[in-house]
Amino acid sequence: MTRPNPFHPAVARWFSQTFAEPTPAQAEAWPAIQAGRHVLIAAPTGSGKTLAAFLAAIDPLVRQGLDGCLKDETQVVYVSPLKALSNDIERNLAAPVAGIRAELLRQGFAEVEIRSFVRTGDTPSGERSRMTPPTAHRRHNSGIALRAAGLCVRPSHVEDDTNGHYRRNSTRSRRASAVHD
Protein backbone atom coordinates (compact mmCIF):
# COMPACT_ATOMS: atom_id res chain seq x y z
CA MET A 1 0.00 0.00 0.00
CA THR A 2 1.43 3.39 -0.95
CA ARG A 3 1.01 6.32 1.37
CA PRO A 4 -0.55 9.52 0.06
CA ASN A 5 2.04 12.24 -0.50
CA PRO A 6 1.84 14.68 2.41
CA PHE A 7 3.39 17.59 0.51
CA HIS A 8 2.11 20.37 -1.72
CA PRO A 9 2.18 19.14 -5.36
CA ALA A 10 5.15 21.36 -6.27
CA VAL A 11 7.14 20.16 -3.26
CA ALA A 12 6.22 16.54 -4.01
CA ARG A 13 7.16 16.94 -7.69
CA TRP A 14 10.54 18.51 -6.84
CA PHE A 15 11.26 15.62 -4.48
CA SER A 16 10.23 12.91 -6.97
CA GLN A 17 12.31 14.55 -9.73
CA THR A 18 15.33 14.72 -7.43
CA PHE A 19 15.13 11.39 -5.56
CA ALA A 20 13.88 7.95 -6.55
CA GLU A 21 11.92 7.55 -3.34
CA PRO A 22 11.94 8.65 0.30
CA THR A 23 14.34 6.88 2.60
CA PRO A 24 12.75 4.83 5.39
CA ALA A 25 13.70 7.57 7.88
CA GLN A 26 11.91 10.20 5.76
CA ALA A 27 8.84 8.06 5.10
CA GLU A 28 8.40 7.40 8.82
CA ALA A 29 9.23 10.92 10.01
CA TRP A 30 7.09 13.04 7.68
CA PRO A 31 3.64 11.95 8.87
CA ALA A 32 4.65 12.38 12.52
CA ILE A 33 6.22 15.81 11.91
CA GLN A 34 3.23 16.99 9.91
CA ALA A 35 0.89 15.75 12.64
CA GLY A 36 2.69 18.14 15.00
CA ARG A 37 4.26 15.42 17.11
CA HIS A 38 7.72 15.68 18.66
CA VAL A 39 10.04 13.64 16.47
CA LEU A 40 13.56 12.35 16.94
CA ILE A 41 14.93 10.73 13.78
CA ALA A 42 17.62 8.23 14.73
CA ALA A 43 19.20 6.76 11.60
CA PRO A 44 22.67 6.41 10.08
CA THR A 45 24.52 9.27 8.43
CA GLY A 46 23.30 9.73 4.86
CA SER A 47 19.81 8.42 5.55
CA GLY A 48 18.07 11.71 4.77
CA LYS A 49 17.33 12.87 8.33
CA THR A 50 18.25 16.51 7.72
CA LEU A 51 16.31 16.74 4.46
CA ALA A 52 13.35 15.09 6.18
CA ALA A 53 13.31 17.88 8.75
CA PHE A 54 13.92 20.69 6.25
CA LEU A 55 11.30 19.51 3.75
CA ALA A 56 8.73 19.15 6.53
CA ALA A 57 9.52 22.77 7.49
CA ILE A 58 9.64 24.14 3.92
CA ASP A 59 6.26 22.67 2.88
CA PRO A 60 4.14 24.71 5.32
CA LEU A 61 6.08 27.86 4.36
CA VAL A 62 5.26 27.17 0.70
CA ARG A 63 1.59 26.66 1.55
CA GLN A 64 1.48 29.84 3.64
CA GLY A 65 3.11 31.79 0.80
CA LEU A 66 0.62 30.51 -1.75
CA ASP A 67 -2.26 31.34 0.59
CA GLY A 68 -0.86 34.86 0.99
CA CYS A 69 -0.32 34.47 4.72
CA LEU A 70 3.45 33.90 4.98
CA LYS A 71 4.40 36.24 7.80
CA ASP A 72 7.55 38.31 7.75
CA GLU A 73 9.04 36.52 10.75
CA THR A 74 11.32 33.66 11.65
CA GLN A 75 9.27 30.47 11.82
CA VAL A 76 11.96 27.78 11.91
CA VAL A 77 15.24 27.64 13.81
CA TYR A 78 17.74 24.93 12.86
CA VAL A 79 20.71 24.25 15.13
CA SER A 80 23.65 22.43 13.61
CA PRO A 81 27.27 21.65 14.43
CA LEU A 82 29.40 24.22 12.59
CA LYS A 83 31.23 21.52 10.60
CA ALA A 84 27.94 20.33 9.06
CA LEU A 85 26.30 23.73 8.59
CA SER A 86 27.52 24.68 5.09
CA ASN A 87 26.68 21.25 3.72
CA ASP A 88 23.25 21.35 5.38
CA ILE A 89 22.54 24.78 3.91
CA GLU A 90 23.47 23.85 0.35
CA ARG A 91 22.14 20.30 0.08
CA ASN A 92 19.16 20.43 2.40
CA LEU A 93 17.96 24.03 2.25
CA ALA A 94 19.21 26.14 -0.67
CA ALA A 95 18.86 23.44 -3.35
CA PRO A 96 15.36 22.33 -2.24
CA VAL A 97 14.08 25.91 -1.89
CA ALA A 98 15.40 26.86 -5.35
CA GLY A 99 14.06 23.67 -6.92
CA ILE A 100 10.66 24.07 -5.30
CA ARG A 101 10.49 27.73 -6.36
CA ALA A 102 11.18 26.68 -9.97
CA GLU A 103 8.61 23.88 -9.75
CA LEU A 104 5.97 26.28 -8.38
CA LEU A 105 6.50 28.51 -11.43
CA ARG A 106 6.42 25.50 -13.81
CA GLN A 107 3.08 24.46 -12.32
CA GLY A 108 1.67 27.98 -12.69
CA PHE A 109 1.76 28.95 -9.02
CA ALA A 110 2.98 32.30 -7.73
CA GLU A 111 6.57 32.53 -6.58
CA VAL A 112 7.07 32.08 -2.84
CA GLU A 113 10.07 33.73 -1.25
CA ILE A 114 11.51 31.71 1.61
CA ARG A 115 14.51 33.50 3.07
CA SER A 116 17.10 32.15 5.44
CA PHE A 117 20.02 33.49 7.42
CA VAL A 118 22.94 31.97 9.28
CA ARG A 119 24.14 32.96 12.72
CA THR A 120 27.33 31.66 14.31
CA GLY A 121 29.42 32.77 17.26
CA ASP A 122 31.38 34.98 14.84
CA THR A 123 28.31 36.92 13.69
CA PRO A 124 28.76 40.62 14.64
CA SER A 125 26.43 41.83 17.40
CA GLY A 126 24.64 44.38 15.16
CA GLU A 127 23.86 41.67 12.62
CA ARG A 128 22.83 39.24 15.40
CA SER A 129 20.32 41.72 16.79
CA ARG A 130 18.61 41.90 13.38
CA MET A 131 18.39 38.08 13.36
CA THR A 132 16.95 37.56 16.82
CA PRO A 133 13.85 35.36 16.63
CA PRO A 134 10.74 37.54 16.66
CA THR A 135 8.94 38.66 19.76
CA ALA A 136 5.51 40.24 20.00
CA HIS A 137 6.90 43.62 18.95
CA ARG A 138 9.58 42.59 16.45
CA ARG A 139 9.20 41.34 12.89
CA HIS A 140 11.97 39.65 10.90
CA ASN A 141 12.58 37.86 7.63
CA SER A 142 10.23 35.01 7.01
CA GLY A 143 11.67 31.58 6.73
CA ILE A 144 14.42 29.63 8.35
CA ALA A 145 17.17 30.66 10.76
CA LEU A 146 20.21 28.42 10.96
CA ARG A 147 22.44 28.49 13.99
CA ALA A 148 25.73 26.72 14.50
CA ALA A 149 26.24 24.91 17.77
CA GLY A 150 28.39 22.15 19.07
CA LEU A 151 26.37 21.30 22.16
CA CYS A 152 22.68 21.49 22.88
CA VAL A 153 21.92 21.94 26.57
CA ARG A 154 18.41 21.22 27.75
CA PRO A 155 17.34 23.50 30.61
CA SER A 156 17.67 21.68 33.92
CA HIS A 157 14.01 22.14 34.80
CA VAL A 158 12.75 20.36 31.65
CA GLU A 159 12.95 16.69 30.73
CA ASP A 160 11.17 14.48 28.28
CA ASP A 161 8.91 11.63 29.30
CA THR A 162 8.76 8.28 27.55
CA ASN A 163 6.26 9.65 25.01
CA GLY A 164 8.61 12.39 23.81
CA HIS A 165 6.72 15.15 25.59
CA TYR A 166 8.47 17.68 27.78
CA ARG A 167 7.58 18.26 31.40
CA ARG A 168 9.02 20.15 34.34
CA ASN A 169 11.65 18.26 36.26
CA SER A 170 11.41 18.57 40.03
CA THR A 171 15.08 17.67 40.42
CA ARG A 172 17.46 20.39 39.33
CA SER A 173 20.05 18.12 37.72
CA ARG A 174 21.63 19.52 34.55
CA ARG A 175 21.57 17.45 31.41
CA ALA A 176 23.52 18.05 28.23
CA SER A 177 23.54 16.06 25.06
CA ALA A 178 25.78 16.46 22.06
CA VAL A 179 24.06 17.05 18.76
CA HIS A 180 25.30 14.69 16.05
CA ASP A 181 24.08 13.71 12.59
Q: What is the mean pLDDT of the chain?
A: 74
Looking at per-residue confidence, does 14 or 124 come out higher?
14
Q: Which residues contact 55 (CB under 8 A, 6 or more apart)?
A: 7, 11, 15, 26, 30, 96
Query: Which has the higher per-residue pLDDT, 38 or 136?
Result: 38
Whole-angstrom Cα distance, residue 98 to residue 31?
24
pLDDT of residue 146: 52
More confident call, 141 vs 84? 84
58 or 147: which leads in pLDDT: 58
pTM across the whole model? 0.68
Q: Which residue has the higher pLDDT, 116 or 1?
A: 116
Which pLDDT score, from 0 to 100, does residue 90 have? 87
Pairing of strands 143-148, 166-168: unpaired
* Mean predicted confidence (pLDDT) in 174-180: 34
Q: Tens digit of pLDDT for each residue in 27-42? A: 999 999 989 999 999 9
Q: What's the pLDDT band for 73 if we cut at 50, 70, 90?
A: confident
